[in-house]
Chains A and B, each alone.
Chain A
Amino acid sequence: MTVAERYSSEDAVPASGLLRRLFLFARVVLAGTAFLGAWIGAGILAMVLFPVSRLRHRRQPTIERAAACQRWMQRAFVLLFDYIRLCGLLHFNPRGLDTSTPARGFVIVANHPTLIDIAAVSAVFGRLVCVAKPLLFRAPIIGQILRSCVYLEGGEMEGLAGGVVVNQALDRIGQGMPMLVFPEGTRSPAGGMRRFRRGPFEIACRANVPVLPILIRCEPATLGKGTPWYDIPPRTAIFTVTRLPAISPASFGGDAGAMTEACEATFRQHLGLPAADTRNPS
């Protein structure tokens, strides 16, 4: 029996009546403990483990101090995924996935169906830097975590912010720190995907490093944009992270625009989505 068969079985869910309501209520309570645990974990990281880790690695360059914090965050995410897997809420095991990466640096691009995509990719790869929205940088605890891990502060598309992020990302890659960027800019719409922006591909082309496309699937869908945390499916969600073949800027003659189009087409094909409507970019 495959993992998907074992978990996607409806048999485990009581068919009707009081038992079903109790079962669904218990799942919401478990989900609540997972979120609470995640917040407590974030507090411990920001206030205890990161300061201690920074002190321990104080003689190392900034980027390696950040990498040490990222490793702590990776351990925390692995623990969190173990917990929600044991609770039967969501099945994802970050261990055992192929983590071999190009030595000269790389840019991971992924679709963004759920709230926990960063957690999943971080749990697999550990060492990486992501772009987060300015609002999160100003939040207590989360802001401290993002700064300790030298994450980049993104901004609006209609301004210079995106261009600044590209330059900062090039700096990170130059220091041997890989990037994770969601080319859609925010979470994917339910059952679909937004148009890709060229930011991550521009970074890859200018740094001349490969793009590692990672396909994220979550079935049934949960934790999407606009869904409240307690709106959870009755059966275990199967979360998978699939590596697609790396693409190199050289095969597109360093043309970031062409690379963006090709990569988006590959994702759409894998997700069974129709080709993008180029006349009406969303």
Chain B
Amino acid sequence: MNDILEELKSMIVQTLMLKDVKPQEIDVDAPLFADGLGLDSIDALELAVEIARRYKVQIKSDDERNREIFRSVRTLATFIAEEKSRMERAQ
């Protein structure tokens, strides 16, 4: 879980090419959108694509849970961890 948190932080900075933010500066509980990191839904889709590539975890664009999943780095990491263990159990 902690690994995912750290990976996500650097993924956010790299994928979204954030200029004035360093991975270690990201508060894992701060909101990703608007007044937190200030991401928008275009950023969110890019992250979703990158997450699908790295963790093989699909986030559907019409999933009603997206607002919850993308609340903070922590909620995103929790979702990825849960999906991964669910997929491992299914195998």
Q: Which residues on A are within 8 Å of B, measured CB to CB?
A: 155-164, 166-167, 197-199, 202, 281
Contacts and interface: CB of A to CB of B under 8 A. Distances in A.
B61 interface: yes
Nearest to A166: B42
A281 B33 CA distance: 12
Interface in B45-61: 45-46, 48, 59, 61
Contact of A199 (B34, B38, B42, B67): B42
A162 B45 CA distance: 8
Contacts of B38: 281
B44 A159 contact: yes
B42 A163 contact: yes
B41 A159 contact: yes
Interface in B65-80: 66-67, 70
Given A157-B41, A159-B66, A161-B61, 16 more contacts: A155-B41, A156-B41, A156-B67, A157-B40, A158-B33, A158-B34, A158-B44, A159-B44, A160-B59, A162-B42, A162-B45, A163-B45, A163-B61, A166-B42, A167-B45, A199-B40
B67 A158 contact: yes
Interface of B: 33-35, 38, 40-46, 48, 59, 61, 66-67, 70
Contacts of A159: 41, 44, 61, 66-67, 70
Contact of A157 (B33, B35, B48, B59): B33
A160 B41 contact: yes
Most buried by A among B35, B43, B44, B48: B44
A160 B45 contact: yes
B70 A164 contact: no
A281 B34 contact: yes
Nearest to B38: A281
